Copies of this chain bind each other. A is one copy, B any other.
Amino acid sequence: MSEKGAKTALTPSTHTTPPAKFSHGVRKGNILQVSGQVGFGPAVPGQAPTPVGPGLREQTLRTLANVEAVLREGGASWEDVVMIRVYLTDTGHFPELNEIYNEFFADLTEAPAARTTVYVGLPAGLLVEIDALAVLG
């Protein structure tokens, strides 16, 4: 692959099909951008995507796993991530989100990514959405 010009869609096999003409992630040169991921379980043919659980913990862990799958598909890992955007629906979820986040990233050896957390509306049933920007190389 040439470092210049090639733009690659990243589509993990377990992911549900995006509901519109966008990619779960894109790599171009040394930049990898992961789309906003939510806590959907692996795609099941003929079934609409469903979140893995009603709780923040299950959804957050699944969301992070979904981000990770896109990173891997593009040849990257969490070590390459420079920015993580966390969208929550409730300011009361901040402490629990941080607990889960720290557990998930406990083994990170590189500097942790930067992060912005804001509180927005999300489709019914979803408590968290996360996207990420990685710089490779």
Given A26-B82, A108-B21, are A122 and B114 also a contact pair (CB < 8 Å)? no
Given A22-B115, A114-B24, A115-B22, are A31 and B105 also a contact pair (CB < 8 Å)? no
In the complex, residue of chain B having the shortest beta-carbon distance to the beta carbon of A20: B98
Does A133 make an interface contact (CB < 8 A)?
Answer: yes
Chain A 40-74 near chain B by CB (<8 Å), digits 1 or 0: 00000000000000000000000000000000000
Q: How large is the interface on A (under 10, 10 to 19, 20 to 34, 35 or more residues)?
A: 35 or more
Copies in the complex: 3
In the complex, residue of chain B having the shortest beta-carbon distance to the beta carbon of A84: B22
In the complex, residue of chain B having the shortest beta-carbon distance to the beta carbon of A36: B116
Point out the residue from B8, B30, B80, B118 that lies within 8 Å of A121, measured CB to CB: B118
Point out the residue from B9, B22, B84, B118 that lies within 8 Å of A120, measured CB to CB: B118
Given A26-B82, A118-B121, are A111 and B5 also a contact pair (CB < 8 Å)? no
CA distance A98 to B22 in the complex (A): 10
In the complex, residue of chain B having the shortest beta-carbon distance to the beta carbon of A22: B115
CA distance A70 to B68 in the complex (A): 27
* Residues of chain A having any CB pair with chain B under 8 Å: 4-5, 7-9, 18-26, 28-31, 33-36, 79-80, 82-85, 87, 91, 94, 97-98, 101-102, 105-106, 108, 110-124, 129, 131, 133, 135, 137
